[in-house]
Chains A and B, each alone.
Chain A
């Protein structure tokens, strides 16, 4: 079935332009696949060839310059049974190079037809990434100086499954387009064309000279790569494009969370407490605050945790502000911290000293940390033996548990009970050990 609705001479292209001929070859090649119009989507890029969608009687998508590959990939992933064809120019391959390369790497099952006429025809004949050296264009009046973009080689070395190049004026181009359509995975064909409005008159390009150009640039015509023709041992592993899950309408269930059961008892707790855990990246500051927050929520309380850290990952400060309250928390910032747990100089520096802390605040600090004067009560703990007992990653949680008990916000046995009952997730055992050790540090703990 012919998808083309318009005879070549009625298309909008300039006299002598080869676009119409390529579209006829494409329509014939699609027809030869036996696919029905509703099984085909033509995604057109921008530029002269971007107008082609209107001449086709199938699903069509006309988007932004250089991005046609992205729309095509989205369509193909949702509708893997469709034949999704991209029609793009040499300009589109320039502005959208990233998409071209990465769609090839992902082996997206789209078929890319590049209509390459070495310049921007629609906007006045400016040079494009494929303009050959010394090519005259409106923006390279003295001849292009840049290295010409080898589209085929670029996608070939980046995972494409089928790559070919040919001249629009060579009748065999139809066969090459057909081969690209039938190739599994990512297929691209670079079709060299004549822009009779600009590039041809400025550069005396003729059909025979296209062949010469191919030889001069060492960009040969023909099938350049076909993964299905590789060594047999590779075929099974590589011929199938990367599996993409199909689009299945469904009622979504939320993902299973490692979540403690809802409390049937509510932990005893003061009305509202504000805690700051301050240390360095890598000390598991946020995890420590998160674990206590989770236990509090599982125990029927409300918690909010606001973190402060720089963009670096294993370097710099890490602060967690944790609020635990018996009523909902609307503002997650700290106003009047009752407990500050200090694990490193980074954390102390980020806090900007301790002078502003209220007098009834308790500061729990690693014993080796030199502290400025503080109106608050300071309690020390030995980080090294603690690290040996519970692991370095759990010191922050132990110190936090120690502080909570020292503040008398919770009874040590109740906190241990909460940890044993409600700790969960990947670090459950380590968290329980850390809380056990932290509560044992405190006075009055039952050991």
Chain B
């Protein structure tokens, strides 16, 4: 059944489908309706929803709830993500499954509360102290907001990590036509449960990339949770061997699972010289631009990134390999992801199309850019040496 819903409604539906049963949040435009929709969804004790005194309490409650066994979500915008920062590190260190939705707005600080932007893409990657990775997904529309929120719970549970889902004002509050039932979703995953008996250490892992077995606070197995550097029993340690083992695990459980985290939509033309890489709000315009370009006879490849971090390098390499001469990256910020692509593909010109005044990049802007670039190349080719 097709529905006419906002990206925020899609987030709520995806979370419910994923079995989310704990939500704590603090009102902030453009994320607020996620909280109020959960108040309605959880009426009748289907879950717990709390409006807290601030964002710090919101994520703090979610971490406590998640370690007691809940599937927790908190949603905010850039200013709130800033306040989540320290607790995201706690969730990393404590290996807490947690879904964080960031409905981005324009600019730093309070910025433009009702204006769109994708300016948090680098902040989300390095959102907390220490420099350890966490998965970051980016919705492009209501349908992907639904799917990615669901997927985020699976990733959070499987890898026992906080996962950030990026949305933006023009996804969060824009209504679109979606048929959620037609979106295919993988089976719902739960964190690996600890055995009921035998020895139990809450942070024991057999391989650096695997996740520890979970026993909830309040269950029969006694659990130690800590944000300080700890051994596999959850006890503070100064043993360098144990410290290295723990921190290597925090790196490897994301880095070594990067392949399984890659989430892209690749629409490739093996003879294209231009590859458009898009994500977030700019993706819709990129899709339209690709269609217009092809209709006009320009061969072009297109990759939509749904997972931003770890960067889906394998899929991008596959798209770049056949002879792409330029990578065009439209994005609603000052060219942040283009900069990161330059590091990975130093030999290819990365051309950045930017807009950061709260308006959308129009399909025509992308078409004009590509046509200009392609014709400049042709002119160059005809010039006598």
Q: Do the beta carbons of A77 and B50 come within 8 Å of each other?
A: yes
Q: Do the beta carbons of B175 and A247 come within 8 Å of each other?
A: no
Q: Do the beta carbons of B177 and A70 come within 8 Å of each other?
A: no
Q: Do the beta carbons of A307 and B174 come within 8 Å of each other?
A: yes
B219 touches A (CB below 8 Å)? yes
What residues of A have a CB within 8 angstroms of the CB of B180 in the complex? 254
Q: Do the beta carbons of B175 and A61 come within 8 Å of each other?
A: no
Q: Do the beta carbons of B4 and A290 come within 8 Å of each other?
A: yes
Task: Determine the distance from Cα of A356 to Cα of B50 in the docked complex, in whole angstroms.
Answer: 48
Task: Determine the distance from Cα of A328 to Cα of B182 in the docked complex, in whole angstroms.
Answer: 14
A425 CB, min distance to chain B CBs, angstroms: 11
What residues of A have a CB within 8 angstroms of the CB of B227 in the complex? 62-64
Interface residues of B in 194-245 (CB under 8 A from A): 216-228, 234-236
Q: Do the beta carbons of B3 and A259 come within 8 Å of each other?
A: yes
Task: Determine the distance from Cα of A306 to Cα of B63 in the docked complex, in whole angstroms.
Answer: 34
Most buried by A among B5, B62, B64: B64
Q: Do the beta carbons of B52 and A247 come within 8 Å of each other?
A: no
B53 touches A (CB below 8 Å)? yes
A79 CB, min distance to chain B CBs, angstroms: 4
**Which residue from chain B places its CB closest to the CB of A305 in the assembled complex?**
B175
Stretch at the interface among A115-123, A183-191, A330-338, A366-374: A330-338
Q: Do the beta carbons of A61 and B21 come within 8 Å of each other?
A: no
**Which residue from chain A places its CB closest to the CB of B170 in the assembled complex?**
A306
Task: Determine the distance from Cα of A74 to Cα of B221 in the docked complex, in whole angstroms.
Answer: 19
Q: Do the beta carbons of A247 and B3 come within 8 Å of each other?
A: no
**B interface, how many residues as a size bin?**
35 or more
Q: Do the beta carbons of B113 and A311 come within 8 Å of each other?
A: yes
**A interface, how many residues as a size bin?**
35 or more
What residues of A have a CB within 8 angstroms of the CB of B247 in the complex? none
**Which residue from chain A places its CB closest to the CB of B221 in the assembled complex?**
A38
Q: Do the beta carbons of B70 and A247 come within 8 Å of each other?
A: yes
B54 touches A (CB below 8 Å)? yes
Interface residues of B in 16-30 (CB under 8 A from A): 16-17, 19-22, 24, 29
B40 touches A (CB below 8 Å)? yes
- Would A74 and B176 be within 8 Å (CB), given that A67-B60, A333-B360 are in contact? no
Q: Do the beta carbons of A74 and B22 come within 8 Å of each other?
A: yes
Task: Determine the distance from Cα of A232 to Cα of B94 in the docked complex, in whole angstroms.
Answer: 45
Task: Determine the distance from Cα of A331 to Cα of B176 in the docked complex, in whole angstroms.
Answer: 10
B48 touches A (CB below 8 Å)? yes
B313 CB, min distance to chain A CBs, angstroms: 26
Task: Determine the distance from Cα of A38 to Cα of B223 in the docked complex, in whole angstroms.
Answer: 9
Task: Determine the distance from Cα of A63 to Cα of B56 in the docked complex, in whole angstroms.
Answer: 12
Q: Do the beta carbons of A254 and B62 come within 8 Å of each other?
A: no
Task: Determine the distance from Cα of A219 to Cα of B309 in the docked complex, in whole angstroms.
Answer: 53
Task: Determine the distance from Cα of A58 to Cα of B221 in the docked complex, in whole angstroms.
Answer: 9
A7 touches B (CB below 8 Å)? no
Q: Do the beta carbons of A293 and B20 come within 8 Å of each other?
A: no
- Cβ contact of A59, chosen from B37, B94, B218, cutoff 8 A: B218
Q: Do the beta carbons of B63 and A71 come within 8 Å of each other?
A: yes
B57 touches A (CB below 8 Å)? yes
B321 touches A (CB below 8 Å)? no
Most buried by B among A73, A249, A302, A333: A333
Most buried by B among A51, A71, A98, A294: A71
**Which residue from chain A places its CB closest to the CB of B142 in the assembled complex?**
A304
Interface residues of B in 90-105 (CB under 8 A from A): 90, 94
A41 touches B (CB below 8 Å)? yes
Task: Determine the distance from Cα of A427 to Cα of B222 in the docked complex, in whole angstroms.
Answer: 53
What residues of A have a CB within 8 angstroms of the CB of B94 in the complex? 63
B37 CB, min distance to chain A CBs, angstroms: 7
Interface string of B279-299 (1 = CB under 8 A from A): 000001101100000000000
B118 CB, min distance to chain A CBs, angstroms: 15
Q: Do the beta carbons of B22 and A262 come within 8 Å of each other?
A: no
A78 touches B (CB below 8 Å)? yes
What residues of B have a CB within 8 angstroms of the CB of A328 in the complex? 177
Interface string of A299-331 (1 = CB under 8 A from B): 011111111111100000000000000001111
Interface string of A52-92 (1 = CB under 8 A from B): 01100111111110010111111111110110000000000
Q: Do the beta carbons of A61 and B67 come within 8 Å of each other?
A: yes
- Would A75 and B177 be within 8 Å (CB), given that A247-B68, A297-B4 are in contact? no
Interface residues of B in 297-350 (CB under 8 A from A): none
Q: Do the beta carbons of B52 and A252 come within 8 Å of each other?
A: no
What residues of B have a CB within 8 angstroms of the CB of A388 in the complex? none
B133 touches A (CB below 8 Å)? no
Q: Do the beta carbons of B53 and A98 come within 8 Å of each other?
A: yes
- Cβ contact of A245, chosen from B5, B42, B66, B360, cutoff 8 A: B42
B180 CB, min distance to chain A CBs, angstroms: 8
Q: Do the beta carbons of A257 and B288 come within 8 Å of each other?
A: no
Task: Determine the distance from Cα of A184 to Cα of B7 in the docked complex, in whole angstroms.
Answer: 41
Q: Do the beta carbons of B218 and A303 come within 8 Å of each other?
A: no
A34 CB, min distance to chain B CBs, angstroms: 17
A37 touches B (CB below 8 Å)? yes
Task: Determine the distance from Cα of A79 to Cα of B22 in the docked complex, in whole angstroms.
Answer: 12
Q: Do the beta carbons of B288 and A330 come within 8 Å of each other?
A: yes
Q: Do the beta carbons of B60 and A304 come within 8 Å of each other?
A: no
A255 touches B (CB below 8 Å)? yes
- Would A63 and B223 be within 8 Å (CB), given that A98-B53, A251-B19, A329-B176 are in contact? no
Q: Do the beta carbons of A335 and B284 come within 8 Å of each other?
A: no
A350 touches B (CB below 8 Å)? no
A229 touches B (CB below 8 Å)? no
B363 touches A (CB below 8 Å)? yes
B10 CB, min distance to chain A CBs, angstroms: 11
What residues of B have a CB within 8 angstroms of the CB of A245 in the complex? 42, 45, 47-48
A248 touches B (CB below 8 Å)? yes
B232 CB, min distance to chain A CBs, angstroms: 14
What residues of A have a CB within 8 angstroms of the CB of B221 in the complex? 38
Task: Determine the distance from Cα of A76 to Cα of B217 in the docked complex, in whole angstroms.
Answer: 10
B189 touches A (CB below 8 Å)? no
B194 CB, min distance to chain A CBs, angstroms: 13
Interface string of B258-291 (1 = CB under 8 A from A): 0000000000000000000000000011011000
- Cβ contact of B90, chosen from A43, A64, A75, A257, cutoff 8 A: A64
B1 touches A (CB below 8 Å)? yes
- Would A54 and B65 be within 8 Å (CB), given that A79-B218, A311-B114 are in contact? no
Interface string of A243-276 (1 = CB under 8 A from B): 0111111111111010100100000000000000
B95 CB, min distance to chain A CBs, angstroms: 13
Task: Determine the distance from Cα of A244 to Cα of B48 in the docked complex, in whole angstroms.
Answer: 8
Interface residues of B in 108-144 (CB under 8 A from A): 113-114, 141
| Known contacts A54-B235, A61-B67, A71-B60; 7 further A-B pairs (Cβ under 8 A) | A54-B236, A63-B94, A63-B226, A74-B72, A249-B21, A254-B13, A308-B114
29 intermolecular pairs with C-beta atoms under 8 Å apart: A38-B221, A41-B218, A53-B224, A60-B225, A61-B64, A62-B226, A64-B86, A67-B87, A70-B60, A71-B61, A71-B67, A74-B22, A74-B70, A75-B68, A77-B48, A77-B61, A78-B48, A78-B65, A245-B47, A247-B22, A247-B48, A247-B65, A254-B17, A254-B41, A262-B2, A311-B29, A332-B174, A333-B285, A333-B360
| Top 9 closest pairs, chain A to chain B, by CB | A74-B64, A70-B60, A71-B64, A74-B61, A79-B218, A74-B65, A102-B53, A78-B68, A245-B45
Residue positions of A touching B, CB distance < 8 A: 37-39, 41, 43, 51, 53-54, 57-64, 67, 69-79, 81-82, 98-99, 101-102, 244-255, 257, 259, 262, 290, 293-294, 296-297, 300-311, 328-333, 335
